[in-house]
Structure formats: C-alpha cells, structure tokens
Amino acid sequence: MGSSEDTLKRFAEHFQTQLSTVIRLSNGVREYNRFFEIPGEFSDLSGQQKRVLEVLQAIGNCKLDHLIFDDVPGAELLSSEEWDSFFSSLLSRQSSSLEITLRCTLHSTVYTHVGAFVAKSSTLEELWFDFPGDVRSSVRTTMIPLSNAAVRALSEGLVHTKCLRKLNVFNREGEMADVLTSAFTGDVRNTSVEFLRLSGSLERLGIALPALLTSNNQNLKEIRLFLKWEEVTQGVVDEFRMVAESFRTRESSVVDASRNVFLHFTCNSKAKFTEDDGRRALSCLDSWADASELVPMLKTNLKLNFTGSGRGEHGNVKQGDVKGWFSHAVNRYTHLNGLQIMLWWSSDAVMDMDNFLLLCQGIQSNESVESLDIMYHGSQTSVDGKCWTHLFHCLRHKRHLKMLPFGDTNAGDETFRSLMDLTSQHLLEKC
C-alpha cells in the first residue's frame, strides 16, 4: 500500500508545484502504469477504481496548461457522477488558457462530460480530438464508438462554448462528422472557433463543408483540411464530388473574403501506394478545382515527401510511379497556392529529367503559386544541376511567388548563380 501512496503523493506534489503543467494520462507513461501495477492491489475492480479516482482528484486540484487523455487504465470503471466531479474540479481550478487532447480509446461516458465541460469552461482555448488509426484498416481494436448521448453532448458543448478558439479533429469517421455538422451548420451553431483543422478521413463531411465555408460565424478565419494520397478511399472521392456539387447548386455560395480554406494534400512515397490511389487522388483534386472555380478563396497546398532507394517499403510500387503521379497532379491542377517538395534521396535514386520537367511545367502553369518550398537531402549528384537551372528559369515571371525556401540542396555553382539571377530579377520587379 505504501508504494501506491508514495506514487500518488509524487503525482500530487509534482502537479501542484508546476507553474506550467502538461499532464498525460496514458498506458505509455511509466509512472502512471506503475501506479496501477502493484501486486495484490487489484483483486477486485474497486481497488483500481479507487486508484483512478485518486489520480484524477490530484489532477483536479492542479492548475493545468495542457491535459492529454490517452488510453487511461480503468477509465470505464468510474461512474457518471465521479467523472462529473473531476471535470467540476477542473472548472473551479482553471485561471489561464487550457488545452485538452482526447483520444478515441476513452470510454464514451467521458465524452459526455467533456461536452459539458467545453460548454462551461471560460479558459479552454484549444481542443484536440486525436483519433489514431489507418483509415483503410479493417481492424479497429482501439475504436470505442461514441454513444448518441456523447454526440449530442459534444455538439452542444461546441455550440455553447464562448472561449474555444482552435478545434483539431484527426482520423475519425462517423460520429465526429455528426458532431461537426450539428455544431457548425445547425440552426444554433458555434460562434467562437477561429481555426478549424480536419485530417484523416474526411468522409461524411461533403454536405457539411460548404455550409462551414459559408457559415455566418464571423470569427471563423481559417479551415485546414489535411489528406494523404494513400488514405483516399472511394468514399472520400464521393465527398469531394459532393462538395463541388454543393457549391454548384447552392443559391448563395459566397465565402467571407477574410476566411482562408486550405487543402493540404500529401503524397508520401514510402506509404503503400497503388495506381488506384493515384487515380482517386487526382479525382479529388479535379473536384476541388471545380469548387475553386466557384469559390476563389479555396486554397490548395500539395506536398511530395519523396524517399528514394528503389521501391516503397511495401514493395508494390516503383518510386518513379509516385513521382509521375505527383508531377501529373501539379501539371494538371492550376489553382495551387503552395507546393512543398521534400526529397530524401540516396545516390542511386536519380531524379529523372522527364519527371522534373513535368513538375516545372506544372509550376509554370500555376499562376497562383505563392510559396514553393524545396527541401533536398541526398547526394549532390542525385539531381542534375540543369534541373534546378530550368526550374529557376520557369520561376522568373511568377509574379505571385512570395516565398521560396531553398535549403539543404547541395547546389553547385551553376545552380547558385541561377538562384541569384532569379532573386535579382524579382527584386528589380518589386522596385
């Protein structure tokens, strides 16, 4: 018994003496695990329930900056009243801005109380629904479905909060789409969130997204959608088509000019990637392009994270195929605002001139590109200096280009001179 009491005492003392506190409750935190692994302590569930309560009470008596709920052992053992008591303690102790991260392994009961906490808190400024998992995985052992009561509570919490400024939702299907749709597009909706970030599966958001973009929430300044090529399912393709169609048929599809909407589309060559993935990704871009024609404030950033050395780790696709798909996307999609290319190559993974020229052609045809970020790590001989010279020549008349980060390229003298010529030309045009 003494061992567990000593651990709890250390928890309490540490939490209460920190001026800036980040607390993570997780299976992966050794001290927290040790607290629940004392031999003979948990012959019945009441012993573990008591330990969970003691830890939560210690946390409830602290002032926090960031609280991370991960896979909390014994969370499902607590009653509704006990969770209510914990969140009530948090409410009474907060005096500065608070950030909370929630993961999908929490019991649905917890989310019901989180919703009430979000509605009542006067300090919660950022909330993360961080749901891990492969969107294409058929096994979701860590997923605990939200109950209807939890969906309602979270929606109402988001509707009634007055201080929440940033909302981040990662890798969740189904229930979180219902929460977002209700909270941001209902008759009574959220008016406090300024920054909304969505990533992972975007399925079931096709109807909600146009409403989000045209929402009368004057505070909503920025929406960012993060999507990986290898995670594009047919359902996501259908959602993007629905987005374009919704804008096409909407009587008033005017987006606030001060509201920025970004689609971040990442192509990772080390991921499992097939030709079907490439076709689905291009289909999404086509639909987004249609929507961009109707709503100019929609912005798009493409990212290629390319690792050379032959084949992807899954061995089912040649790296050149990935380069080709990405080059084709850049050349085909003419509404890009940002393009990031991260090249991690070994000396035997040479950037072929054909694909580089296709990339350059796409960049040249994109009049809206404001940021071009090239990060290169590898052998100096992996990229022919003529490639860089050709790229800089294509950029000479890019009037909208504002940012050109260009580092770690092992560029030779010829490449450096071409870069300086490009910089001089743009400086003269600005004068």
CATH value at residue 220: 3.80.10
**Alpha-carbon distance 59 to 38, whole Å?**
21
pLDDT of residue 42: 41
In a domain? residue 158: no
In a domain? residue 345: yes
Q: Each residue's pLDDT tens digit in the chain (431 positions)? A: 445 556 555 655 655 554 444 555 544 444 444 444 443 444 444 666 676 777 777 777 666 677 777 656 566 677 788 888 888 887 876 666 778 877 656 677 788 889 999 999 988 899 988 765 443 333 333 456 778 888 899 999 999 999 999 999 875 555 677 888 888 877 888 989 999 988 876 766 666 676 676 666 678 888 888 888 777 888 888 888 887 777 776 544 455 556 677 888 877 665 566 778 778 888 888 888 887 777 766 777 777 665 544 333 433 444 446 666 777 777 767 677 788 777 655 444 455 566 667 677 777 777 777 888 877 665 544 555 677 777 777 777 777 777 877 665 556 677 677 777 777 765 545 54
Angle of the 148-160 helix axis to the 175-185 helix axis, nearest 10 = 30
In a domain? residue 309: yes
In a domain? residue 357: yes
In a domain? residue 51: no
Q: Are 196 and 220 in contact (CB under 8 A)?
A: yes
In a domain? residue 282: yes
In a domain? residue 361: yes
Total domain count, the chain = 1
In a domain? residue 155: no
Q: Are 34 and 7 in contact (CB under 8 A)?
A: yes
Q: Which residues does 116 contact at the CB level (< 8 Å), separation at least 6?
A: 84, 87, 153, 157
**Alpha-carbon distance 371 to 302, whole Å?**
11
What range defines the domain where residue 259 resides?
194-198+214-227+239-431
Please give the helix or strand (H or E) that residue 197 lies within, else none: strand 195-199
Residue 240 phi, psi dihedral angles, 5° rounding: -65, -40
Q: Are 231 and 200 in contact (CB under 8 A)?
A: yes
Q: Are 220 and 211 in contact (CB under 8 A)?
A: no
